[in-house]
Amino acid sequence: MAKQRVDILYQDDQIIVVNKPPGVLTIPDRHKPELFNLQHFLSETYGRAWVVHRLDRETSGVLVFARQAGAHRDLSLQFEKRQVQKHYLALVDGLPTPREAEIDKPIGPHPGQAGKMAIIRTGKPSISRYRVLESFRQFSLLEVEIMTGRTHQIRVHLAAIGHPLAVDPLYGKREGFYLSEVKGQKYQLAKHKEERPLMSRNSLHAYKLSFDHPVTKKRMQIEGPLPKDFGAVIKQLRKWGK
């Protein structure tokens, strides 16, 4: 398994918290177990690591793993009882109105497309809360808290209100974020060169996780810095997209 840098945000003998890079798997791929994944990496580096929750491969951000069976049971129960607070940063198309709201729409498998989720009447109850942190001409940066943990929940909910992630080929309209879209006519590319996207994965980052330590019971709040690609996009939007 190829090595990759993984930022450790916190660790002790019970838990280890990482800032997952985009494009990295949380657990092994069933069809390609040789691919780099955090569970194997942490187990090989720090001793056995139990998976408590997951993030999509293209989503970056804070993940907690248990290092003991008892810690795994305790944390899993906290997630099950919705005692864990999960906050994300999401760059979306347009400006949501109102600027702060709750999205309460059931989510289930898309009836006609495998691997995709949708808002359907028979889906599982799903609740997300968002607020606009910063707005630009074509885009907005949101903080989103999810009260439930459905597959693709944020991506589905934001698309359902007409403001999909700025980069999301499955639920949105872009496979990448290009500076030329923001700078317009001011953008100039050297001759014979092809423009590369500043970001080529879902514009979603799990930036804050709050939970009770499984042994000390102390409330912990851990934040993960934005990765370089997401930070570069926000920097350019602040410069050119106001």
- Tell me, yes or no, if 56 is annotated catalytic: yes
Given 12, 29, 56, 229, the catalytic residue: 56
Secondary structure of the chain as H, E, C letters: CCCCCCEEEEECCCEEEEEECCCCECCCCCCCCCCCEHHHHHHHHHCCCEECCCCCCCCEEEEEEECCHHHHHHHHHHHHCCCCEEEEEEEEECCCCCCEEEEECCEEECCCCCCCEEECCCCECCEEEEEEEEECCCEEEEEEEECCCCCCHHHHHHHHCCCCECCCCCCCCCCCECHHHHHHHHCCCCCCCCCCCCECCCCEEEEEEEEECCCCCCEEEEECCCCHHHHHHHHHHHHHCC
Residues annotated as part of the active site: 56
